[in-house]
Amino acid sequence: MITFAFPEPRDESTAQPETPLPAVTREAVGAVTLPDVVQPPKLLNRSAPRLPADFHRLLRVPVEVIVAADLDANGSVESVRVLKVAPQEFPFLREATMLGTRRSTFQPALRNGVPERSTILIRYWIQPVQR
């Protein structure tokens, strides 16, 4: 555990010569607990959704798909759910992005250097063919 002591702010206009601070003890200032150091999970390798060959030609505008992937402490995908498909819904698009996410690889989240379960959001942009 780390303990800190902070002197009171001084008004420089009425400042008097500095006096040394007393020794810092746990009883004098109490203990300060530092917050956890958390590192989010990292996407190491994104697997693109497998879409029909002519799908991009059918699109008129880009489609955004946002998925949430639940990861275990090893970074393996436990479950995937689609949060958003916009502006157009296609029957196979949800399943294709979920399968693509399951095939992706991740580095797990860390709390104080220890791997931990987490959830990561992934955005897919599916672009139409330029005409």
* Mean pLDDT for back-to-back runs of 10 residues, the chain (131 residues): 39 55 53 80 90 82 91 95 86 90 94 93 86 63
What integer pLDDT is reported at residue 86 of this predicted model? Answer: 87
Domains, the chain, with CATH or none: 38-126 (3.30.2420.10)
What integer pLDDT is reported at residue 91 of this predicted model? Answer: 75
Contacts of 3 (CB under 8 A, 6+ apart): 24, 26, 29, 30, 31, 32
User: Cα torsion at 25, 26, 32, 33 (round to 10°)?
Assistant: 130
Return the ∠ at Cα 70 (arms to 75 and 73), rounded to 5°: 35
Is the CB of residue 37 less than 8 Å from the CB of residue 91?
Answer: no
Is the CB of residue 70 less than 8 Å from the CB of residue 131?
Answer: no
- Residue 82 phi/psi, 5-degree rounding, is -85, 125
d(CA 89, CA 67) in angstroms, rounded, equals 14
d(CA 84, CA 66) in angstroms, rounded, equals 5
What integer pLDDT is reported at residue 128 of this predicted model? Answer: 83
What integer pLDDT is reported at residue 1 of this predicted model? Answer: 27
d(CA 82, CA 123) in angstroms, rounded, equals 10
